[in-house]
Structure 1
Amino acid sequence: MRIENVVDNQQLNDAFSVRNKVFVEEQKVPLHLEQDKYENEALHFVGYVQDQPVAAGRVRINKDYAKLERICVLKSHRGHSLGKQLILAMEQNLIKQGVKKAKLGAQTHAESFYHKLGYSVISNVFYDANMPHIMMEKDLIQ
């Protein structure tokens, strides 16, 4: 998979297309919750297989940590470590910027996926878009 930092409208539309298919169509998240007021301040990523967008995610950076959000892979491409590739690329980008810690709100069914990538649970279960989530974090720079 080729992972790119979004730098133009076509790439952003590709990322939104993947997110729409996964979150809005598949998981039934209302569009007004899936795309929010943070889109313009976030750094977006999109993953391509044979020039087709199949994975997406975004990052928002504040002074203490970066928050990885909207991470998804099309159902047709799951089970091939594309999610892992996307997370690792996002983390490498953050490390290059000197970010020391990453956090994310994981859907509870994905806890073991993120745990294998070094994330630890730091919250109780909470609900976002009517789905159970947990907050997780990882130290990027030791």
Structure 2
Amino acid sequence: MEIKIVENEQQLQDAYSVRYEVFIHEQSVPEELEIDDLEKEAIHFVGYEGKTPVAASRIRLVDGYGKMERICIVKPSRGKGYGKELLLFMEQIAQEKGMKKSKLNAQTQAEAFYRKLGYETISSEFMDAGIPHVTMTKVL
């Protein structure tokens, strides 16, 4: 997979297409919750297999944290290590932007995945868009 920091409208639309497929179509997240008013302040990422977008995410720099958000891989491309590859790339960019810690709200079904990558759970379970989540942090 080739990961790109979004630099143009086509790459942004590619990232949104992955997010739509995973969150809106697969997980039934309402569109108005998925695409929000924080898009403009975020650094967006898109991952490609050849010319096909298969992964997406964004980072916001909030309160000294790199806030890792909207991390997703399309179903046919899961199990190839792309989630780890994308998150490590995001962490590198957060560090380059001066962040010492990262934070994310993980779906509970992905909590073990993030734990293996050094994240610690710091909250009790809560619901977001009808899906159970926990907040997790990592020192970069």
The two structures share one fold, judged by TM-score above 0.5:
yes
Q: Deviations over 1:95-139 (max 9, x none)?
A: 112210000000000000000110000000000001000000000
TM-score (norm 1): 0.97
Q: Deviations over 1:22-42 (max 9, x none)?
A: 000000001000000100110
Displacement of 1:62 in angstroms is 2.2
Q: Any gaps of 5 or more consecutive residues in structure 2?
A: none
Aligned match of 2:133: 133
Aligned match of 1:7: 7
Aligned match of 1:33: 33
Q: Work out the CA distance in 2 between the residues paired with 1:56 and 1:117.
A: 18
Aligned match of 1:73: 73
Displacement of 1:61 in angstroms is 0.1
TM-score (norm 2): 0.98
Q: CA contact under 8 A between 2:66 and 2:91: conserved in structure 1?
A: no
Aligned match of 1:90: 90
Q: CA contact under 8 A between 2:58 and 2:68: conserved in structure 1?
A: yes
Q: Work out the CA distance in 2 between the residues paired with 1:63 and 1:107.
A: 22
1:10-25 map, 5 Å:
10-25=10-25
Q: Work out the CA distance in 2 between the residues paired with 1:66 and 1:90.
A: 9
Q: CA contact under 8 A between 2:42 and 2:58: conserved in structure 1?
A: yes
Identical amino acids, percent of aligned pairs: 54
Q: CA contact under 8 A between 2:68 and 2:104: conserved in structure 1?
A: yes
Show structure 1 runs of 4+ deviating over 4 A.
Answer: none
- Answer with 85-94 or 58-67: which moved more: 58-67
Q: Deviations over 1:59-112 (max 9, x none)?
A: 000242111000000000000000000000000111112210000000000000
Q: Any gaps of 5 or more consecutive residues in structure 1?
A: none
Aligned length: 140
